[in-house]
């Protein structure tokens, strides 16, 4: 495995340029890349420091989403392997729009928007975490349901932070699962429900880390709870996501489009 350093240079947070670099570099599995992000490179002094740092690794790759033309020129002049996202994409977009780009340094680009509504969504999702405040479930965009430790809370928070969705989550306890239908507060909200599941082996491993050698963490108990939850999902035609091999981004994107 060949090792290479890849710098991600941004005049803002670096979230976009990191995502691009990871995507492109995943197409080169023969290499192992170490990513170093240099965020907030938004004036000549910082560009100069970045150039000096990059120059210490002559074979480094450099991805950039700098927007200010003067800063971009300066970086380009001193960096052999530079991949400037705007240089590579903007000309094609200019042609399609029949309109010249107006690059301006420091403009907030990427995912930084709707701060208020996303923070409201996070606060909502925390307030309705783990079955809290069931009387407010009708205010949710989505309600995630599933057994203990299936990943409801992180998924709800990711959907709130990334997409500004108000996502409640409600646990299905062994007592709930022993009934013939879903708990009453959920029955009133069927269209909003999304079921999470995962493999019994994964669930047992997750529970085991928390309560070693408990009945709660036993494979038999996990199998029984998951099977009962899945019967409820089938009974009410609730969309289900199996999270066994998914990242939280993937789970969230699938739930959003379910």
Taking CB under 8 A as the criterion, the residue among 5, 36, 177, 253 binding its own copies is 253
Q: HEC states along the chain? A: CEEEEEEEECCCCCHHHHHHHHHHHCCCCCEEEEEEEECCCCCHHHHHHHHHHHHCCCCCEEEECCCCHHHHHHHHHCCCCEEEHHHHHHHHHHHHHCCCCCCCCCCCCCCCCCHHHHHHHHHHHHHCHHHCCHHHHHHCCEEEEECCCCCHHHHHHHHHHHHCCCEEEEECCHHHHCCCCCCHHHHCCHHHEEEEECCHHHHHHHHHHHCCCCCCCCHHHHHHHHHHHHHHHHHCCCCEEECCCCCHHHHHHHHHHC
Residues 134-153 that bind its own copies (CB under 8 A): 151, 153
Which sign, positive or negative, has the C-alpha torsion 178, 181, 184, 190? positive
Rounded to a whole number of angstroms, the minimum distance from the CB of residue 254 to its own copies is 7
Asked whether position 97 contacts its own copies by CB under 8 A, the answer is: yes
Asked whether position 109 contacts its own copies by CB under 8 A, the answer is: yes
The count of C-alpha atoms lying within 13 angstroms of the C-alpha of 174, restricted to the half-sphere facing its C-beta, is: 8
Residue entry with tokens 């699962």: 177
Residues 58-77 that bind its own copies (CB under 8 A): 61, 65, 67
CA distance 83 to 212: 49
Rounded to a whole number of angstroms, the minimum distance from the CB of residue 96 to its own copies is 4
Asked whether position 239 contacts its own copies by CB under 8 A, the answer is: no
x/- letters, 170..209, toward its own copies (CB under 8 A): ----------------------------------------
Count of residues binding its own copies (CB under 8 A)? 70
Given the rule CB under 8 A, which of 22-30, 43-51, 137-145, 184-192 is the region that contacts its own copies?
22-30
Taking CB under 8 A as the criterion, the residue among 101, 177, 219, 228 binding its own copies is 101
Token reading at 53: 């740092």
Given the rule CB under 8 A, which of 89-97, 186-194, 219-227, 228-236 is the region that contacts its own copies?
89-97
Residue entry with tokens 């994409």: 89
| Minimum CB distance to its own copies smaller for 15 or for 228 | 15
Taking CB under 8 A as the criterion, the residue among 1, 3, 115, 175 binding its own copies is 115
Asked whether position 123 contacts its own copies by CB under 8 A, the answer is: yes
Asked whether position 43 contacts its own copies by CB under 8 A, the answer is: no
Q: 17 and 9 in contact (C-beta within 8 Å)?
A: yes
Given the rule CB under 8 A, which of 7-15, 43-51, 164-172, 225-233 is the region that contacts its own copies?
7-15
Binding region for its own copies (CB under 8 A)? 4, 12-16, 18-20, 22-31, 39-40, 61, 65, 67, 80-81, 83, 85-86, 88-90, 92-93, 96-97, 99, 101-104, 107-113, 115, 118-119, 122-123, 126, 151, 153-154, 157-158, 161-162, 246-250, 252-254, 257
């Amino acid at each position: 495995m060949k090792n290479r350093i890849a710098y991600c240079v941004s005049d803002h947070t670096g979230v976009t340029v990191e995502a691009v670099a990871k995507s492109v570099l995943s197409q080169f599995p023969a290499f192992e890349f170490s990513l170093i992000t240099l965020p907030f490179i938004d004036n000549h002094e910082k560009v100069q420091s970045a150039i000096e740092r990059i120059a210490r690794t002559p074979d480094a790759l450099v991805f950039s989403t700098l927007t200010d033309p003067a800063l971009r020129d300066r970086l380009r002049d001193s960096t052999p392997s530079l991949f400037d996202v705007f240089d590579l994409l903007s000309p094609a977009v200019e042609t399609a729009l029949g309109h010249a780009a107006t690059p301006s340094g420091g403009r907030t680009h990427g995912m930084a928007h709707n701060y208020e509504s996303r923070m409201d969504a996070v606060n909502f999702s925390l307030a309705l975490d783990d079955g809290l405040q069931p009387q407010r479930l009708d205010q949710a965009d989505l309600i995630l349901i599933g057994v203990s430790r299936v990943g409801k809370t992180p998924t709800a928070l990711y959907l709130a932070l990334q997409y500004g969705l108000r996502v409640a989550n409600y646990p299905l306890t062994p007592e709930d699962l022993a009934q013939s239908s879903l708990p009453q507060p959920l029955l009133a909200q069927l269209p909003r429900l999304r079921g999470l599941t995962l493999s019994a082996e994964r669930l047992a491993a997750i529970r085991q880390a928390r309560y070693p050698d408990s009945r709660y963490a036993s494979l038999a108990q996990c199998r029984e709870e998951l099977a009962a939850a899945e019967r409820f999902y089938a009974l009410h035609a609730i969309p289900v996501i199996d999270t066994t091999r998914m990242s939280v981004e993937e789970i969230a994107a699938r739930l959003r489009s379910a």
